[in-house]
Structure 1
Amino acid sequence: MGVKKKINVLKRRSKFLIAPIAEYVKKDRSRIRGTYTKYTSNLPIDEKTILYEAYHGKNITGNIYALFLEILKDDKLKDYKHIWVINDQENPLIKQYSNMPNIEFVQVDSKGYLKYLASAKYLLNDTSFPFYFFKREGQVYVNTWHGTPLKTLGTDINGRSMSGHKNIQRNMLHVDFLVSPNEFTYKKLLNSHDVYEIFPGKVLDFGYPRVDLTLNTDSSKVKEDLTIASDIKVVLYAPTWRGEVGKENDTSQALLDDVEAMQTALGSDYVVLLKAHYFTTQFFKKVGLDHLCVPDWYDTNRLLSAVDVLVTDYSSIFFEFLPTQKPVLFLMEDFAEYELSRGLYFNKEDLPGPVCMNREELVSSLLQMDNLRYELNYKTFLEKYCYNDTGMQSKKIIDAIFHNQYQDEQIKTETKKEKLLFYCGGFYNNGITMSAINLFENIDYSKYEVTVIDNSNNHKDKFNNIKKLNPKVHVLFRPGVFNRTIKETYWHELVMRRGVISEFMEKKAPVHAYKREMRRLIGDAKFDYGVDFGGYNKFWSLLFAFSGFKKTSIYLHNDMKEEFNKKVNGKFKHKHNLKVIFSLYKFYDKIVSVAKSTNEANKGALSSLVPNSEEKMVYVNNVINAKGILEQRTQKEMIERSRTNYLILREAQTDDDSVLNIYGVKAPSKTNMNFVNIGRFSPEKGHDKLLLAFSEVVKDFPNSRLYIIGDGPLKGAIQKQIKALNLTEHVVLTGQLNNPFSLLDYCDCFILTSEYEGQGLVLMEAMVLDKPVIGTNVTGIKSVLEGGYGQLVDNNVEAITSGMNNYIRNGLEFKKFDYDKYNKEALEMFYKHVCNK
């Protein structure tokens, strides 16, 4: 070994040894995750400890506080230990309870927090625990959420990233008891976070415990706490904060003006209080008016017991005020903008009080409170959203959770269908993504519940492709990073470099960490079948290999030995990942190729890595979306410019809705012979051969044209080759198209000249449109075209040239493709091999 090589090896080994320790020492989040992970492995679960967390530790209020108070009154729970998560150590309630030896206060991410989060038997939260949290076997997670939603949630929020709800979604899959104020709330919450049918917990549609505080608190005590005279009426203004950090004054001044306008109009018989965001409170303090703000630590529901009139905008607070049967008014100056940007679940005309569009209307409505008639709306809201509010809900909830009562009233939303969990390879614009979309369009949803899991990172293709999934498919996103200790990190990194290649590595691989990570992501959700449909990502292959599902499968979308050796621009594309993934095949129940010839090639190259390979290595043909193809072929739009017709292939609106960007190509002419190819610009697709062959065709048939649909790393090389072969006037590169079928339908003949294929899905798409097809006689393509569905030619320039020339001269007879029969057989294969049917 040369000196330079030795130095490089030494550097790599040094980095391998130092990096995990350096990360642990330098990065707080890494240290937090590692400490929490250690606690979950080493600490026993304390059967008599309860952890309480409200609003990520911002205060001690709301549903969690109400449950805490009820638990303290329960003699059967008197020897329990209570851990409150509160970041503000100056909170007055800490002093109030500090003399009780069984109550402790911790801050989010502190060692105490990590310890109790890992070991407390009962975990109570009204929002969500951090990314690193996962519920251990034996823990009980109670989530109360924090309001009946007026504003949209999760995936229903207008313009929100599809993964913006990822941690709440993940938390829901760990929940044992979801406390809900009404049917509307739990259905909206679970559906908008895309977990309704896979939610593993039980819904307690028992009402909110915090409403008990509103109905049972002595209002005179509240006025005393806030130094308000007993004969003064209270107007509470509780708006949603919509400012920006750093620009608090912009909204806070407007709120101050609102408060002053109301106070001036109502006079000295009333006091107008503001319950607002922390930033707004700080602004009021700065201008000497903080006495108008209700302290953040003071429980809002206790406060409501002393309120005579509530003014809000989009806050859910009004639902919990309704049982008092006192007036509610809404100030919605930005209603149109807010409805467009965020979205609302209600029409403003249906709300149980006047909706005021400006300050003047609000003041006018306040002065006419006695004459405002909203009894019908008010009654409707009480019946639909407040039917549980009797003032005794906290005890009922405690009895259900701690004393095993009311089991017949607990609701299960989880379906009884068999459940499949897929990883689909990242949803890039490629054949794997299209295969997944097509499969999900055809699965029998009366028998199967389908869920896809993916990283939450964004790239330009991902969310556009996810939107194409059948709406019955659930989509989960992976938030945060892999929890692991330093020791686990070393072994994981070794696995990621070398794979599980020996008995020694099988013993040392941190399988428990992979199981724990899968649990962190899916909680208690039960999946029967785990399918690594992507097959190229070693981390996801590890998670699925050791997931513990009833049956696991991994897909091979290509001749994997060829993929292993593939180079793009002089560099191996998949070698490092596939080395690890090949070593994991033995841990899967089925290794699924996507065509008969592909399975034969993969068996020949890889069967030595797969025990019982004859049984475990199978093939399942890809499903095609014939209906979608036939619909998209008709979506054609032409424009004429300089007496030339252009086929519109893409269009996009800009930020200025008065401007439309369109992209098109010169429409294929009937006087030309138009060939078309669809494929990623990658070495295995053989575009270089195709162009060489086509350059020979053009010599004899100059009216020939070739349209190539796709994109990829070799685009620059392909453009240079087109220029070098003088094919600029004959070859059109269209780029990636969402709908290639309108152009394909205009062309005469489809040609695919790959070095190898998994199955050649694009061939069948052309066959659905009854197009003549020419393909090289290689793995994947052979399985599709044999039997007379197209012309197979040898994989060389001369044979491809001859095939194209022969088509121009003589046409091509081919067998009609029965896509309905094909799909039925492909699905039967899927159910048999993947679902064990």
Structure 2
Amino acid sequence: MAEKTRKIIKRKIKFVLDPLKKYIQDQEFRMRATYTKFLERKPIKEKTILYEAYHGQSMTGNSYAVFKYLMNHPVYKNYTHVWALKDENTVHEEYKNKRNVIIVKPRSRKYNNYLATAKYLINDTTFPYYFQKRKEQIYTNIWHGTPLKHMGLDIKNRGLTDHRNIQHNFLYTDFMVNPNKFTYETLLKSHDVYNIYSGYVMDTGYPRIDLMFNADKDAIRKKLSIPEGKKVILYAPTWRGKLNSKNDMSETLMHEMDKLKNDVNDEYIILLKTHYYAYEFFKKNGLSHLCVPNSMDTNELLSIVDILITDYSSIFFDYLPKRKPVIFYAYDAEEYEFNRGMYIDMEDLPGPFCKDFNSVVSNINNIDNVTLKYKERYEYFINKFNYNDDGNATKRLVETIFEGKSLNNCFKTCTNKIKILIYCGGFFNNGITTSVTNLLNNIDYNKYDVTAVDYGNDNRKEKWENLAKINKNVSVLYRVGTWNAKLFEWCRHRLLLRRGAYTDFMKKVMPSEMYEREMKRLIGQSAFDIGIDFSGYSPFWTTLFAFGDFKKRSIYLHNDMVEQANKKVNNKYPHRNNLKVVFSLYRLFDKVVSVSKLTNEQNIKNFSDIIDNYQTKMDFVINNINYNKTLELKEIKKTLKIENHIYLLSKNEYSKSNINLSGFEIPKDDNINFINIGRLEPEKDQEKLLYAFSEIVKIKQNTKLYIVGQGALKGYLEKLVKSLDLEDHVIFTGQISNPYALLDYCDCFVLSSNHEGQPMVLLEALILDKPIIVTNIPGSRSVVEGGYGTIVDNSIQGLVDGMTKFISGQQMNEKTFDYKEYSKQAINMFYDKICSLK
């Protein structure tokens, strides 16, 4: 007894000390905790502006253009101007001793202080993932170029969630400043936020292009030691090297610069504007005089350029208003197009497209002909992309953002539709995924904007394959980073995860403000009318939806949830701890929704004592189906014939060098073919089915049982088949992307489950008009009762009786399933019970 007491005390001490240990040892956690304190306790600095450009790499670009304008403006020159810079040496000389110009290192304590308190925030890329704008702050995002290369979701061969932090920043942006319509549409759509972006779009031009119009050309030429009378060629390639092979591209650039110097008319001075790595290489080789310093603003530099050579950089868009020639050099265009993708074909750009450097030199030496040849296309590009470039873009920005003047070309893209935010689950291969995919395909997108939220940090192939199946009208927000939480909040959160919120003490202790903050960090300033935790299994998402700012909150119960909590797999309870927390939060939802009438009745018995007003809160909405897809997929039967045996392919992967096929022999007409589809988990109870099937084989030798699915019990079930001598009769197919082709081949569907919500596979079997046998449990009974299938006792003998009935030729389904009428009923129930805001 003493030993047990010691263990309990030790466990409690560890529970108390772990958060403190985390705070001391985890710098990121400590930084976020401090930033959160700044957010909540520090007052807003009304006359302070925080600027950031290229993640703190330089004092250049759009942010610099706004800064320079304000520093020379009588009203704003005495504001406090804070620059986030990694290297103080990049500060322009004229600002180094200004008392009201402050330099902070990104992600430092001082930086986070200003990030949380500066009234005005200006960035040309993104603030860190933990950034969370306060209502009083004004965030202006002026992206660093017109996109030529694919962005966000459009990038080929991309990391599927690489755009998460850009998405996060856009949702906090008050003013998105753009040079043209193409840019704002591309940025918002490629980052999947066009319909939910709540800030203003300013189609007013980039401030940085004003720098090109207004630059002191003589001072720039003098700084770069350019002799009077000399013309300037600027070579500005995109960096395409790798950290471990920097010299490869740098040496190539050096040879190209030599060629330009030797083969181009000496009336030109050649300058190179390149990446930091290449610049360091040139510096080490005593050639830094050929490179433009990284601290020099590119647009001010463009003011003295007579010919621009570039590749995939959007620098040429900025240069177009000068109406001077551009030469495009991209030796790796095909590879780049394959890996990244382009919005504009290189052949369609307003200048010659060269794949080798000799062509570049040749075009320079014939520049008059080049100018004449591309004049018409050049003007087309200016009219499409540069219609705002008149040198006054910064003035328009300041008048709108700082002075509150309204502009005709300042507007919102956010629609007035009812907005739904939904967590769909982990997108595992299961009924929940099928159900939510069908729901999202059936919603009326003329009336609703739907946004799904997801962790976005899971590389499982099945997840991304399932996610790709959801309706393209659905926006997907991916969580980037983690909680902004104070130490004591984290302690209270851990206590909730341990105990749930059942007692009055825990209801007061749980850190609701932490959950509200995290939901806001996720969705930014977007407003949603309806929040739906469709999964209902994750404490993280349940807490966020329970405390999110919605007009109506709903949570789904896809099963007899107490049975799910008591589910045991390999001597462990996979859902017990999570569901203990989730159950305690049901009371905070407006609707606690089961997926069938009978399942709802069972859940009411279990939860009526912890849900206030359960009579109105607890309800049911039947699962949606996609009958067109089911009927379509049943016809897609990929087969392969080998030695008079026909195989149905479950995997069909191939490349140029190899092929990877797997499958199983198709059901034969002279056999009686039963099929079971479901996870190989205890609640599906394929063990009971196999024992029953072994009795059927004794009666009828020409019977087969196809078991479709994966799960924790696969190994056990395979051993059971062997011990029952059923190896010639039972076929484990594994998970297959299109089970409907096999289901169509089979004769009878058998579901042996011990508990279900409303099985999607039963609805799909009914769509294909298959005879059905189910065990007598509420979820399955709710689908087939009334003549749509045969209900048997939930036992081995019950299943034996049902399969024997089928073998003897007795009728299994008395009625035909009207799947069209069912589909209408399902979506209308969703609208009435989940979406109604009355």
Specify the TM-score bucket, using the shorter chain as the normaliser. over 0.9
Structure 1 partner of 2:28: 29
Give the whole-Å Cα distance in 2 for the aligned partners of 1:270 and 1:598: 81
Q: Could you tell me how far 1:75 is from its partner in structure 2?
A: 2.6
Structure 2 partner of 1:374: 374
Query: Residue 754 in 1 paired to residue 736 in 2?
Result: no
Counterpart of 1:658, as a letter, is S
Counterpart of 2:567, as a letter, is K
Query: Residue 504 in 1 paired to residue 508 in 2?
Result: no
Give per-residue Cα distances to partners, 1:398-442, cap 9 Å, x unaligned.
Answer: 101011113432121001100000111111111111111010010
Structure 2 partner of 1:724: 723
Q: Specify whether residues 775 and 235 from structure 1 end up closer, same or farther in structure 2 by C-alpha distance, changes over 3 A only.
A: same
Give 3-state SS (helix, strand or coil) of 1:5's partner.
helix
Structure 1 partner of 2:582: 581
CA contact (8 A) 2:58 2:91 kept: no
Give the whole-Å Cα distance in 2 for the aligned partners of 1:39 and 1:16: 27
Give per-residue Cα distances to partners, 1:574-631, cap 9 Å, x unaligned.
Answer: 1100111111001111000001111011001111110000100000000011111011
Give the whole-Å Cα distance in 2 for the aligned partners of 1:106 and 1:581: 43
Structure 2 partner of 1:327: 325
Aligned counterpart for 1:156 among listed residues 151, 154, 157: 154
Give the whole-Å Cα distance in 1 for the aligned partners of 2:438 and 2:256: 55
Give the whole-Å Cα distance in 2 for the aligned partners of 1:500 and 1:382: 61
Structure 2 partner of 1:834: 834
The farther-off stretch of 260-269 and 513-522 is: 260-269
Give the whole-Å Cα distance in 2 for the aligned partners of 1:50 and 1:318: 30
Query: Residue 803 in 1 paired to residue 792 in 2?
Result: no
Counterpart of 1:577, as a letter, is N
Q: Could you tell me how far 1:224 is from its partner in structure 2?
A: 0.6
Give the whole-Å Cα distance in 2 for the aligned partners of 1:337 and 1:346: 15
Seq. identity, %: 48
Give the whole-Å Cα distance in 1 for the aligned partners of 2:748 and 2:324: 74
Counterpart of 1:125, as a letter, is N
Structure 2 partner of 1:66: 65
Counterpart of 1:679, as a letter, is G
Q: Specify whether residues 321 and 795 from structure 1 end up closer, same or farther in structure 2 by C-alpha distance, changes over 3 A only.
A: same
Query: Residue 354 in 1 paired to residue 357 in 2?
Result: no
Q: Could you tell me how far 1:825 is from its partner in structure 2?
A: 0.8
Counterpart of 1:193, as a letter, is H
Counterpart of 1:218, as a letter, is D
Give the whole-Å Cα distance in 2 for the aligned partners of 1:672 and 1:303: 80
Give the whole-Å Cα distance in 2 for the aligned partners of 1:831 and 1:428: 26
CA contact (8 A) 1:331 1:358 kept: yes
The farther-off stretch of 103-112 and 401-410 is: 401-410
**Within-5 A mapping of 1:67-216:** 67-93=66-92, 95-216=93-214
Structure 1 partner of 2:685: 686
Give 3-state SS (helix, strand or coil) of 1:76's partner.
coil
The farther-off stretch of 98-107 and 758-767 is: 98-107
Give the whole-Å Cα distance in 2 for the aligned partners of 1:204 and 1:47: 23
CA contact (8 A) 2:123 2:142 kept: yes
**Within-5 A mapping of 1:684-833:** 684-812=683-811, 813-833=813-833
Query: Residue 400 in 1 paired to residue 411 in 2?
Result: no
Structure 2 partner of 1:446: 446
Structure 2 partner of 1:230: 228
Give the whole-Å Cα distance in 2 for the aligned partners of 1:76 and 1:618: 60
Give the whole-Å Cα distance in 2 for the aligned partners of 1:447 and 1:92: 51
Give per-residue Cα distances to partners, 1:245-280, cap 9 Å, x unaligned.
Answer: 121001111111111111111143212111111101
Give per-residue Cα distances to partners, 1:312-366, cap 9 Å, x unaligned.
Answer: 0000000000000111001110000000000000112210000000111111111
Query: Residue 54 in 1 paired to residue 53 in 2?
Result: yes
Give the whole-Å Cα distance in 1 for the aligned partners of 2:355 and 2:10: 67
Q: Could you tell me how far 1:530 is from its partner in structure 2?
A: 0.5
Q: Could you tell me how far 1:455 is from its partner in structure 2?
A: 0.3
Q: Specify whether residues 4 and 269 from structure 1 end up closer, same or farther in structure 2 by C-alpha distance, changes over 3 A only.
A: farther
Structure 2: any 5+ residue segments left out of the alignment?
Answer: none
Q: Could you tell me how far 1:35 is from its partner in structure 2?
A: 1.0
Q: Could you tell me how far 1:92 is from its partner in structure 2?
A: 4.0
Structure 1 partner of 2:424: 424
Counterpart of 2:13, as a letter, is S
Counterpart of 2:836, as a letter, is N
Give the whole-Å Cα distance in 2 for the aligned partners of 1:276 and 1:3: 71
Structure 2 partner of 1:272: 270
Q: Could you tell me how far 1:231 is from its partner in structure 2?
A: 1.4
Aligned counterpart for 2:312 among listed residues 288, 295, 314: 314
Give the whole-Å Cα distance in 2 for the aligned partners of 1:6 and 1:183: 69
Give 3-state SS (helix, strand or coil) of 1:229's partner.
coil
Give the whole-Å Cα distance in 1 for the aligned partners of 2:70 and 2:7: 62
Give per-residue Cα distances to partners, 1:50-72, cap 9 Å, x unaligned.
Answer: 11011111110000000111122
Counterpart of 2:647, as a letter, is Y
Q: Could you tell me how far 1:127 is from its partner in structure 2?
A: 0.6
Give the whole-Å Cα distance in 2 for the aligned partners of 1:249 and 1:475: 40
Q: Could you tell me how far 1:811 is from its partner in structure 2?
A: 3.6
Give the whole-Å Cα distance in 2 for the aligned partners of 1:196 and 1:238: 32
Give the whole-Å Cα distance in 1 for the aligned partners of 2:16 and 2:508: 20
Give the whole-Å Cα distance in 1 for the aligned partners of 2:6 and 2:804: 57
Q: Could you tell me how far 1:293 is from its partner in structure 2?
A: 0.9
Structure 2 partner of 1:5: 4
Q: Could you tell me how far 1:15 is from its partner in structure 2?
A: 2.2
Counterpart of 2:284, as a letter, is K
CA contact (8 A) 1:710 1:734 kept: yes
CA contact (8 A) 2:145 2:314 kept: yes
Counterpart of 1:559, as a letter, is D
Give 3-state SS (helix, strand or coil) of 1:568's partner.
coil
Give per-residue Cα distances to partners, 1:156-204, cap 9 Å, x unaligned.
Answer: 0001122110000111100000000100000000000000011111100
Structure 2 partner of 1:342: 340
Structure 1 partner of 2:540: 539
Q: Could you tell me how far 1:12 is from its partner in structure 2?
A: 2.3
Give the whole-Å Cα distance in 2 for the aligned partners of 1:578 and 1:765: 29
Q: Could you tell me how far 1:221 is from its partner in structure 2?
A: 1.5
Give the whole-Å Cα distance in 2 for the aligned partners of 1:637 and 1:516: 50
CA contact (8 A) 2:420 2:528 kept: yes
Q: CA RMSD in A?
A: 1.1
CA contact (8 A) 1:772 1:814 kept: no
Structure 1: any 5+ residue segments left out of the alignment?
Answer: none
Counterpart of 2:330, as a letter, is M
Query: Residue 281 in 1 paired to residue 279 in 2?
Result: yes
CA contact (8 A) 1:220 1:230 kept: no
Structure 2 partner of 1:415: 415
Give per-residue Cα distances to partners, 1:740-767, cap 9 Å, x unaligned.
Answer: 0011100001110100101011001010
Give the whole-Å Cα distance in 1 for the aligned partners of 2:148 and 2:404: 32
CA contact (8 A) 2:71 2:78 kept: no
CA contact (8 A) 2:676 2:751 kept: yes
Q: Could you tell me how far 1:126 is from its partner in structure 2?
A: 0.5
How many residues matched?
Answer: 833
CA contact (8 A) 1:622 1:826 kept: yes
Give the whole-Å Cα distance in 2 for the aligned partners of 1:150 and 1:805: 66
Give the whole-Å Cα distance in 2 for the aligned partners of 1:647 and 1:721: 25
The farther-off stretch of 327-336 and 398-407 is: 398-407
Structure 1 partner of 2:18: 19
Structure 1 partner of 2:480: 479
CA contact (8 A) 2:675 2:750 kept: yes
Give the whole-Å Cα distance in 1 for the aligned partners of 2:712 and 2:2: 35
Structure 1 partner of 2:528: 527
Counterpart of 1:379, as a letter, is E
Counterpart of 1:190, as a letter, is L
Give 3-state SS (helix, strand or coil) of 1:461's partner.
helix
Give the whole-Å Cα distance in 2 for the aligned partners of 1:833 and 1:92: 59
Q: Which 4+ residue blocks in structure 1 deviate beyond 4 angstroms? A: none
Give the whole-Å Cα distance in 2 for the aligned partners of 1:555 and 1:483: 27
Give 3-state SS (helix, strand or coil) of 1:247's partner.
helix
Give 3-state SS (helix, strand or coil) of 1:810's partner.
coil
